Structure 1
Amino acid sequence: MANYKTPPVLSEAKPYSRWIEEVKAWQEVTDLKKEKHGLAVALSLLEEGAKSVRDKVFHEVDLEDLKKETGVSTLIKFMDNVFKKDELSAAYEAYTSYDHYRRQTATTMEEFVTEFEKLYNKTKKYKMELSKPVLSFKLLESAQLEHKDRQLVLTAVDYKEPDKMFEQMQNSLKKFFGQQSMPPHFWLQTVRCSKL
């Protein structure tokens, strides 16, 4: 059986909002007493790097407040002042991450489709939802396929069923290019064309 005493770690690679969700989930599954949650989470904070805040927490948050049943809430309130972005900034960041995402040379199509959907789902949290046809075409364009390959993918997509287009596009991309990464010659052509 897993040991649920260790809370999630806030790291460089993990967005603050995701860490908060993981802490809430951890609180539901841990076998630690509720009055120890705040201290456990505080002790899991990094001491070095861009997200190092443990020293600041132990200097500015009363230890007795962390030892209460509301310790995690107290800690999160403090952490929000340090890390939480305002909603507009978070929405813009989610949108630009999604909008600028393109399949890279070494990325398989399956990895690309999964990451594309993950980034799109982040934008949906901020009420930025695209129609299925637009989302489908954005997925196809971001896959950076050659013209003949795009045409092949489109043969498996039915435009007469707009509500199913995104799922069909995902399936088609994975069916035809699943575990393949981009061939190096395509990447070189893309670089050369972009310099013109």
Structure 2
Amino acid sequence: MKVLMACWRAAVAIQSPLMVIQLLAGLVDDGFTWSNLGLELVTAPLAWGTVSLLWAVLAWAWLRRRSRTAGLALSVEVLDDRQTHLLRVADVSDGWQERMRERLASAERAFLVAEKGQEEVSFRWRPGRSDHSVHGSLSFDTTSGTVLIDLRADESHLGVAGLRKGTSYVAMCQVAGELELRGTGVG
């Protein structure tokens, strides 16, 4: 429920200028009277509140499906610009780090893959169809067989369902799926 409310707040923030324009246009069309102002002040927020709630439900359902597919927990933090998750490798055997590097480098959405020593890889990931991308890095812990993924979104993303938020979480789910990683159950 908290994620849905966060999505609704984001949708309302995006749609508020449109609501104000509709309110003013209604007052101009119908003439400025106190009864018209009262009617517009009731109907415009009600209509836009309903539209933004439907928009938020779609975004929430999409995020929920993504998180289930990736095995990640769905929380209010999914709308943050920066996502950091500790994920477990499905097959911890000899050479698992190299397999992660190869999968990342061969992924269609990944580019500018660069290694920072043996324990870290930096990259850019394209979560959508546009050219916008997120910055990312993988840090390997060989003893526990975990990978720390850190993703940061740029400001120009439209995000989940146009909410301008959630892009780095979508990318996190995609990277986890591509690399066959699962949540560890830790915070």
Higher relative contact order (CA 8 A, sep 6+): 2
The structure with the largest strand share of the pair is 2
The structure with the largest helix share of the pair is 1
Q: TM-score, normalised by structure 1?
A: 0.26
Whichever of the two has the greater Rg, that structure is: 1
